[in-house]
Chains A and B, each alone.
Chain A
Amino acid sequence: MTTLIAIIGLGVLCLIFEIFDFRKAIIPITIIGLLAILGLTVSEFNSPASYYNNMLIVNRFSVSFSSLFIVLTLFLVALSHNFYENHQSKLSDYVAIKIFLLSGAVAMVTFGNLAMFFLGIEVLSISLYVLAASSRMNIKSNEAGMKYFLMGSFASGIILFGICLIYGAMGSFDIVEISEMSQSAELPIWFPIGIVLVTIGMLFKIAAVPFHFWAPDVYEGSPTLTTALMSTLAKVVAIATLYKLLTALHADVNYSFQIVVVVISIASMTVGNIMALRQTNVKRMLAFSGISHAGFMLMTLLSLSTSAGSLLYYTTAYSLAGIAAFSVIIYVCKNRDNEDIVNFHGLGKTNPLLAAILTASLLSMAGIPIFAGFFAKLVLFSQTIQAGYLVVVIFAVINSIISVGYYFKLILAMYTKEPNEERKGKPFLIYAVALIAIVLNIVLGMFPSLVLDLLA
């Protein structure tokens, strides 16, 4: 609860700073503020509670995911410094929107009432629409924003319809009440339909096949920092929320629903990976890679009762790798009009550190050991096999193999091609973010219990 308030306060503070022309202080203050909020959040870890008539329920799950979101936002805000160098007058808006977005995200994992859930997702979405379209004069950005907006609000409509049906069945928005009722009485069919519709809406947000089409286009068109945000924070928030929704509502997760999850999961992995193979735009490639990772994350829904820890671990691993990768992309593609793979040629020679970081993050995504990505997949596989879905795991493995193909395309470009031009400057914050993210990733890879045991 305090987290949410503090975040909103910080957002407002950003806007106030702009008014009083403390522009230079915005990012440092935000970073410090976020660190403080992180501390605040973590301190709630062992004190589960519910606030305001169950509007917000703070438990380990919400705290750990909130912390993850805060860390991710921290990274993204740190990257903003360099990214918005030429847009100083809008800096406060950008940062404030990110902070508000974080508040939406936190609301989504902390919700105790579907109203909070819906508002949270809308805050998140609307912020994202704005950020996607935020490069005003760039047609691609406009297009990305428009596509995202159209499809996003369509999905919102569906989610809303789902919530409505749940309400119709239960007469309440409170998840505790709903979950109690869902176990006892004979339910009208509205309830499962509602759950399914909400799930579909969330599947859209995490870009699972066949609701994934927006993702590559939007990722490609959006400003790179926004893409980073979408592919890490937004995706993680969506899957976490979906997970929470399904667990908290004791939803009707029966066998046929699991079959649907299996099919979607396999389809997402396969489509994402196969489509990524022929991409030359790095952001687009990562978008498809994100789709395939969505497929992996969906595997957690097959063993709902036990997989919270592994979901947290997977999302952490994935998003840390994503942050590291995107920081390098931001650095490399700064002042370029596209993110074509050509820009990465010879990075291994001109900038070995960043190349190494990007390589490491790609390897993590590919699931190569010692990187957290490996354990993430391992734990996932383990749980899924335990749940009896060996087929999914086999598909997952085949997809891991395919994925190496395109991750390595980028690595090859960095190490085997001749560099085309020198890049000037070594922006400290980008280096720091990339390095910290990847180091965190590796540390988690070496000590997976740090995260895995949090929600055990």
Chain B
Amino acid sequence: MNNILTQIGIENYIFLSVTLFCIGIFGVLYRRNAIIVFMSIEIMLNAVNLLFVAFSTYHQDAQGQVFVFFSMAVAAAEVAVGLAILVSIFRNIGSISIDNLKNLKG
């Protein structure tokens, strides 16, 4: 048995991950619905997680996977706080479109 990446190629994982990451960026830019934007950010983080695991396999090293745990914790924490903010905005202005957040400018 050898490294599974010999069959797939680490480049492919990189391309997949980069594409996924870019889709995440695209989502953040494209959508105005805050929830979807959050989701896009999650996609970005997951793209990175995927790459971590791929690299972990590439290096035959556990640290990459361990880091994914931290990354998940971060994602969870962010989502919690983000949604809390979102809810409080929704309570105040009844909308979650980020286009409505234009009071602060200039």
Q: Which residues of the other chain, B, contact A160 by a CB distance below 8 angstroms?
A: 45, 48, 71, 74
Q: Considering the complex, which residues of chain B in the window 68-90 have a beta carbon less than 8 Å from any beta carbon of chain A? A: 70-71, 74, 77-78, 81-82, 84-86, 88-89
Cβ A154 vs Cβ B28 within 8 A: yes
Cβ B104 vs Cβ A144 within 8 A: yes
Q: What secondary structure prevails in chain B residues at the interface with A?
A: helix
B67 within 8 A of partner (CB): yes
Distance in Å from the Cβ of B5 to the closest Cβ of chain A? 12
Cβ B105 vs Cβ A217 within 8 A: yes
Q: Which residues of the other chain, B, contact A129 by a CB distance below 8 angstroms?
A: 81-82, 85
A-B contact pairs, 29 of them (CB 8 A): A115-B66, A118-B70, A119-B70, A129-B85, A130-B81, A133-B85, A143-B101, A145-B85, A146-B98, A149-B82, A150-B28, A150-B34, A150-B98, A153-B41, A154-B28, A154-B41, A156-B74, A156-B78, A161-B21, A161-B44, A167-B63, A168-B14, A171-B58, A171-B59, A171-B63, A216-B104, A221-B103, A279-B106, A284-B106
Distance in Å from the Cβ of A83 to the closest Cβ of chain B? 20
A122 within 8 A of partner (CB): yes
Cβ A217 vs Cβ B28 within 8 A: no
Q: How far is the CA of A208 from the CA of B88 in the complex (A)?
A: 29
A172 within 8 A of partner (CB): yes
Q: Which residue of A lies closest to B47 (CB)?
A: A161
Q: Which residues of the other chain, B, contact A220 by a CB distance below 8 angstroms?
A: 104
* Size class of the A contact interface (CB-based, 8 Å): 35 or more
Q: What secondary structure prevails in chain A residues at the interface with B?
A: helix
Q: How far is the CA of A140 from the CA of B92 in the complex (A)?
A: 10
Cβ A157 vs Cβ B41 within 8 A: yes
Q: Which residues of the other chain, B, contact A161 by a CB distance below 8 angstroms?
A: 21, 44, 47-48, 51
- B25-49 contact mask (Cβ, 8 Å, vs A): 1 or 0: 1001000001001000100110110
Q: How far is the CA of A78 from the CA of B55 in the complex (A)?
A: 46
Q: Which residues of the other chain, A, contact B85 by a CB distance below 8 angstroms?
A: 129, 133, 142, 145-146, 149
Please pick, from A153, A168, A173, A217, the residue contacting B51 in the complex, using a CB distance under 8 A: A168
- A127-163 contact mask (Cβ, 8 Å, vs B): 1 or 0: 0011001001101101111110110011011001101
Cβ A168 vs Cβ B98 within 8 A: no
The interface centre, meaning the residue of B14, B44, B82, B85 with most chain A CB atoms within 10 A of its CB, is B85
Interface size on B, residues (CB 8 A): 44
Q: How far is the CA of A114 from the CA of B25 in the complex (A)?
A: 23
Q: Which residue of B lies closest to A129 (CB)?
A: B81
Q: Which residues of the other chain, A, contact B10 by a CB distance below 8 angstroms?
A: 168
Cβ B81 vs Cβ A136 within 8 A: no
Given contacts A161-B21, A168-B55, contact A146 B89 (CB under 8 A): yes
Q: How far is the CA of A218 from the CA of B105 in the complex (A)?
A: 10
Q: How far is the CA of A450 from the CA of B89 in the complex (A)?
A: 47
B8 within 8 A of partner (CB): no
- A96-137 contact mask (Cβ, 8 Å, vs B): 1 or 0: 000000000000000000110011001000100110010011
Cβ B74 vs Cβ A139 within 8 A: no
A164 within 8 A of partner (CB): yes
Q: Which residues of the other chain, B, contact A279 by a CB distance below 8 angstroms?
A: 106
Q: Which residues of the other chain, A, contact B24 by a CB distance below 8 angstroms?
A: 157
Cβ B104 vs Cβ A146 within 8 A: no
Cβ B41 vs Cβ A164 within 8 A: no
Q: Which residues of the other chain, A, contact B37 by a CB distance below 8 angstroms?
A: 150
Q: Which residues of the other chain, A, contact B21 by a CB distance below 8 angstroms?
A: 157, 161
Q: Which residue of B lies closest to A220 (CB)?
A: B104
With A118-B71, A157-B21 given, name 12 new contacts (CB 8 A).
A126-B78, A137-B92, A139-B92, A140-B104, A142-B89, A143-B103, A144-B104, A146-B34, A150-B82, A160-B71, A167-B52, A168-B51
Q: How far is the CA of A2 from the CA of B1 in the complex (A)?
A: 46
Q: Which residue of A lies closest to B44 (CB)?
A: A157
Please pick, from B47, B82, B86, B106, the residue contacting A153 in the complex, using a CB distance under 8 A: B82
Cβ A146 vs Cβ B70 within 8 A: no
Cβ B81 vs Cβ A126 within 8 A: yes
Q: Which residues of the other chain, B, contact A156 by a CB distance below 8 angstroms?
A: 74, 78
Q: Which residue of B lies closest to A142 (CB)?
A: B89
Q: Which residue of B lies closest to A173 (CB)?
A: B63
The interface centre, meaning the residue of B52, B55, B70, B77 with most chain A CB atoms within 10 A of its CB, is B55
The 7 closest A-B pairs by CB, nearest first: A171-B59, A217-B104, A157-B44, A168-B55, A143-B101, A142-B89, A133-B85
